[in-house]
Structure 1
Amino acid sequence: MLLKLRIRNFAADRLKVDTLAIAAFQARCRPASHDIAAYLMDSNNLLDAESVQQALLPAPRADVFLSHGAVDREQVLQLAVMLEALGLTVFVDSCLWRNVYAVQQEMDDMLSARRDSPGTHHFHYFKVART
């Protein structure tokens, strides 16, 4: 059964969730390979969608799927820990998927950085536009 639910005025501070419990939850949710950029930057510029899906986007088997905005991350993790304590399995999207801007920055650093200014964030305009 799928139930779409939005939560408003959630008071996570009342949950009293231990930070170690949150860290343990996050560690359980991370896949072995978490480097999406590596799949996008192989030497042949070839993206094999099936291998990406198998490695990075496993089908979650969970009672509850939590998706959230970046500002709500800590509160959602607290909620996830509490739901697990009730015996539910919980999938939190941000524990598996990285922020798209972090991936883009990693790709720009690798593919578009100007070699004449190492260690800086100076890029070739057209190369950045391509990534």
Structure 2
Amino acid sequence: MFAGFNLQGLDTDFLSSYKGAGEVAFNQQKNHIRKELDRFVLDDGSIDGSALQNDWFPEVEADIFLSHSHGDHKLTMAFAAMLEGEFGLTAFIDSCVWGYANDLLKKIDDVYCRNETGATYNYDKRNYSTSHVHMMLSTALTKMMDKTECLIFVNTPNSITTRDAVKDKTKSPWIYSEIATSSALRKKKPRRHNELLKKAYFEHSAGETKSLDINYDVDLNHLKDLSTFDIAQWRNAMRVLPMEDLDLHPLDQLYKEKKVLDFKFEAYHG
């Protein structure tokens, strides 16, 4: 991961023309995941956790990691379609992964966690299976964040509740985990930046029931603010690039506008 953004103000009107395309793209990502549990049972009756994780929570090739609330699922799908259509960027929607956690838990629990009568689940066994599936999920999401170049957090009232002027809070443990992880992940420059800096150096040298609500404090300070106006400006800038900049990577244009790139790279490419 190289950069992260806190996107606020995204709405359905801005993305209305991408709704259908977003659902198609999401379903294509979703189809990578297979669901036959018996394929992962070893000879001794145990489950091959590594193989199961790779199958249920695969690493998709993507440029951008989209972190969002379940309530903004359709909005985020449309946004992913816009990123693909306007910039040629592939976005990974995090619900492609965590959306299957409950399905996987149900499959495991139905086989391994029922009480003797089969009518109910064993509490201790359910805790054990849940901890394993959630750990697989957390690991898969961390790998995806580390692998993608950019994270965009779709910040809406569904994901973040501002209780006072200082702290933002979320009721989603997954959003809390993703934002906290994005702050701790190593920052890796895209390979193309290193190549351009090398080139610049050599040129210079030559020249319903009561629900359980748990709130987490979320620190968004490491994410650059991003708005729909910024995205519109980004889109317009890419549409009118001068001839000499036609090979500019779309994310580099965004980094440049939001002042993410360091001075040397901006001076060389700017």
Q: TM-score, normalised by structure 2?
A: 0.39
> In structure 1, which of residues 119, 124, 127 is the aligned counterpart of residue 125 of structure 2?
127
- SS of the aligned residue for 2:65 comes to strand
1:68 matched residue in structure 2: 68
In the aligned structure 1, how far is the partner of 2:52 from the partner of 2:72? 27
Answer with 65-74 or 38-47: which moved more: 38-47
In the aligned structure 2, how far is the partner of 1:56 from the partner of 1:106? 12
Could you tell me how far 1:34 is from its partner in structure 2?
Answer: 3.2
Could you tell me how far 1:4 is from its partner in structure 2?
Answer: 0.4
The structure with the largest alpha-carbon Rg is 2
Q: Does 1:8 align with 2:8?
A: yes
In the aligned structure 2, how far is the partner of 1:13 from the partner of 1:65? 22
In the aligned structure 1, how far is the partner of 2:59 from the partner of 2:124? 37
Could you tell me how far 1:67 is from its partner in structure 2?
Answer: 2.0
- Uncovered stretches (5+) of structure 1, i.e. residues with no partner: none
Alpha-carbon contact 1:77-1:92 (below 8 Å) kept: yes
Could you tell me how far 1:48 is from its partner in structure 2?
Answer: 4.6
Alpha-carbon contact 2:56-2:100 (below 8 Å) kept: no
In the aligned structure 2, how far is the partner of 1:115 from the partner of 1:17? 53
Alpha-carbon contact 2:23-2:77 (below 8 Å) kept: no
1:108 matched residue in structure 2: 109
In the aligned structure 1, how far is the partner of 2:2 from the partner of 2:13? 28
Could you tell me how far 1:83 is from its partner in structure 2?
Answer: 0.9
Give CA deviations for 1:6-65 in whole Å, capped at 9, x if unaligned.
Answer: 112321233114543222111221243333x8289625214252x345434444332222
Alpha-carbon contact 1:17-1:81 (below 8 Å) kept: no
> Normalized per residue, which structure has more strand?
2
Shift in alpha-carbon separation, 1:12–1:3, aligned structure 2, 3 A: farther
Could you tell me how far 1:91 is from its partner in structure 2?
Answer: 1.7
Give structure 1 regions of 4+ aligned residues with deviation exceeding 4 angstroms. none
The equivalences for 1:16-27 within 5 A come to 16-17=16-17, 19-27=19-27
Give CA deviations for 1:82-123 in whole Å, capped at 9, x if unaligned.
Answer: 1111122222122244343443233222322346365xxx22
Answer with 40-49 or 2-11: which moved more: 40-49
2:96 matched residue in structure 1: 95
In the aligned structure 1, how far is the partner of 2:115 from the partner of 2:29? 36
In the aligned structure 2, how far is the partner of 1:62 from the partner of 1:94? 14
In the aligned structure 1, how far is the partner of 2:32 from the partner of 2:60? 15
Shift in alpha-carbon separation, 1:101–1:58, aligned structure 2, 3 A: closer
2:37 matched residue in structure 1: 38
Alpha-carbon contact 1:64-1:88 (below 8 Å) kept: yes
- Uncovered stretches (5+) of structure 2, i.e. residues with no partner: 130-270
Q: TM-score, normalised by structure 1?
A: 0.70
Q: Which has the higher contact order (CA 8 A, sep 6+)?
A: 2
Question: How many percent identity over aligned positions?
Answer: 23
- SS of the aligned residue for 1:7 comes to strand
